[in-house]
Amino acid sequence: MPLIAYDSVNAAAFQMTRHLRDDDLATWREAIGRHFEPQSGMRLLDLGCGTGSWARAFREWWPELDVVAVEPAAAMRERAVFQPVMPGSAEDIPCEDGSLDALWLSTVIHHVPDLAAAAREIRRVLKPGAPVLIRSAFAGRHEAISLFRWFPEAVAVLDRYPSISDAAAAFATAAFTTVACEPVSQVTALSLAEAAAGLHREAHTPLQLISDEEYVAGVVRMNDAARMQSGPVIDALDLLVLR
């Protein structure tokens, strides 16, 4: 089971707050492009696509690419800004053997109960040498994510996520090798005040899994800081690449 169940409330909050602006996706496009060169007829799977913002971005960046989207939660599929989205999961991907040229997993792997089983299924659907591109917050790597400054209790939740070494080891059981791992910066909000005003607890797994008292205290800290801090909120998640 995933750490949280994505019902209509969670899906709505995710759609409202977890889609990066087009301009703020540039660093991710550049990072992905270092490991994947799209060509006409290639197929990329966005696995666990949520409400579809990354699948939409891939289609807009590389129109020659056939983008396939899979999402297990019906509430997410119903709100997706990309269509079609097929039902499926990391352990049961609705694609043929050796039919994909790349696979994208964005903030998904902490919801996968058996990463080794998922790695075997991903190996099945990928062509030889095709990259697995994992965008994630990993255990032990909270320092570059501003949310944990205001909600320090949520670090303990993050540390329940797979670490980079955990993910690499799980994929190694399916003969994947780690070829790169790099932090990628992104503008999460134009200001901390904007981030605070738009915060939805339901959109963030670590915030859902702390106590109500801890969440309220964090909101107070965040709003207090927002009155003093100017400039954009810049966070960094890791891009782990395996082949």
Residue 219 placed within a domain: no
Mean pLDDT of the chain: 93
Residue 33, domain member (yes or no): yes
197 lies in some domain: no
Residue 166 inside a domain? The answer is yes
Question: Is residue 131, in this structure, part of any structural domain at all?
Answer: yes
Buried b / exposed e over 47-86, threshold 16 CB at 10 Å, is bbbbbbbbbbbbbebbeebbbbbbbbbebbbebbebeebe
Assign residue 46 the CATH number of its domain: 3.40.50.150
Q: How confident is the model at residue 9 (pLDDT cuts 50, 70, 90)?
A: low
pLDDT in tens, 58-110: 999 999 999 999 999 999 999 999 999 999 999 999 999 999 999 999 999 99
Residue 30 within a domain = yes
- Asked if residue 229 belongs to a domain, the reply is no
Does residue 178 form part of some domain?
yes
Beta bridge partners of 92: 89
Average pLDDT (14-38) is 82
135: β partners: 106, 239
Predicted TM-score (pTM) above 0.95: no
Name the band, by pLDDT with cuts 50, 70 and 90, for residue 13.
low
What is the number of domains present in the chain? Answer: 1
Q: Which domain holds residue 33?
A: 8-143+161-187+235-242
What local confidence, expressed as pLDDT, does residue 15 receive? 58
**What is the average pLDDT across 202-231?**
96
**Residues 106-135: what's their mean pLDDT?**
97
